[in-house]
């Protein structure tokens, strides 16, 4: 389904005014081969995401997570920006955006060239030690995991948006974890797990982006949880026009002045194409 020319024109008119805050979700990355939780590619999955409480409370849970994530990282790490990510980066280059708040942990906004990106839930390309808090590149951890598991092989046909692959108990059992090279502490991906709080300064930064914007554009988020919905609620309280591009209904539809139920890549590529004239010249 593609948006009507009328709705596409209305979206272009809204964004052309500039100072648009973008809030993006997993639906923006599905065309890069990364599935979402609640949209069309996520409806068949039954695996529950890892929670912070399980991760810190059980060595067995950590083994399961890292084994599954080690497999899943192949797909996440090899993913490339799609035309939706590139269109958002182009809108930023043209000075139309107040900032980008993403709920995604895949780094594809930055890979497409976007600069002012706040990763609300962190990024899978980094690892943090829960003891000394040192952050290291995920690529370094992956090398260490390969060295620690030279004969371990597993594959999965199901990958979650956080890089968590579905494996059997037998596949997980032989996987060896590694600890922080500095202090021997527990390593965790530098992302916010379910049940874990987003750091308050980061939340405040996101609210600042929305508060300084003229409009809010939601891209590929079902807004099913408070983590993202709160920014729509804030924008509505400020009287900002809210536009939503998503496949399927969202928790913010009641506050939106414009809703496009359409594929993200083609819709955003069309939007960038329509906005070929610099704002100041219109």
Catalytic residue list:
121
Helices (H), 122-168: 138-148
Beta bridge partner(s), residue 30: none
The H or E element spanning position 229 is helix 226-237
Q: Could you tell me if 253 and 244 are in contact, meaning their C-beta atoms sit under 8 angstroms apart?
A: yes
The H or E element spanning position 134 is none
CB contact set of 26 (below 8 Å; sequence gap of 6+): 34, 35, 36, 37, 38, 39, 42, 103, 104, 161, 220, 221
How many Cβ atoms are within 10 Å of 170's Cβ, its own excluded? 8
Which two three-digit tokens encode residue 280?
Answer: 């100041």
CA separation for the pair 1, 79 (Å, rounded): 25
CA separation for the pair 199, 219 (Å, rounded): 23
The H or E element spanning position 21 is strand 20-24
Helix/strand/coil percent split, the chain, to 5? 40, 15, 45
């Amino acid at each position: 389904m593609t948006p009507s020319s009328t709705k596409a024109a209305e979206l272009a008119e809204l964004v052309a005014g500039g100072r648009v805050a973008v809030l993006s979700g997993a639906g923006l990355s599905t065309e890069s081969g990364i599935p979402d939780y609640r949209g069309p590619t996520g409806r068949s999955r039954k695996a529950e995401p890892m929670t912070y409480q399980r991760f810190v409370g059980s060595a067995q849970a950590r083994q399961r997570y890292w084994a599954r994530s080690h497999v899943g990282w192949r797909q996440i790490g090899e993913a490339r920006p799609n035309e939706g990510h590139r269109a958002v980066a182009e809108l930023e280059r043209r000075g139309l955006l107040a900032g980008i708040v993403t709920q995604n942990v895949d780094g594809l906004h930055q890979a497409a060239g976007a600069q002012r990106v706040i990763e609300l839930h962190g990024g899978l390309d980094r690892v943090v030690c829960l003891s000394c808090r040192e952050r290291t590149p995920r690529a370094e951890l992956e090398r260490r995991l390969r060295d620690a598991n030279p004969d371990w092989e597993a594959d999965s046909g199901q990958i979650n948006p956080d890089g968590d692959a579905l494996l059997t108990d037998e596949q997980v059992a032989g996987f060896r974890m590694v600890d922080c090279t500095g202090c021997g502490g527990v390593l965790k991906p530098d992302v916010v797990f379910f049940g874990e709080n987003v750091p308050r300064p980061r939340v405040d930064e996101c609210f600042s982006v929305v508060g300084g914007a003229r409009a809010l554009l939601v891209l590929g988020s079902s807004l099913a949880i408070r983590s993202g919905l709160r920014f729509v609620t804030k924008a509505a309280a400020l009287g900002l026009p809210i536009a939503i591009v998503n496949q399927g209904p969202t928790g913010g539809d009641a506050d939106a002045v414009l809703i496009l139920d359409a594929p993200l890549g083609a819709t955003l590529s069309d939007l960038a194409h329509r906005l070929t004239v610099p704002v100041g010249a219109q």
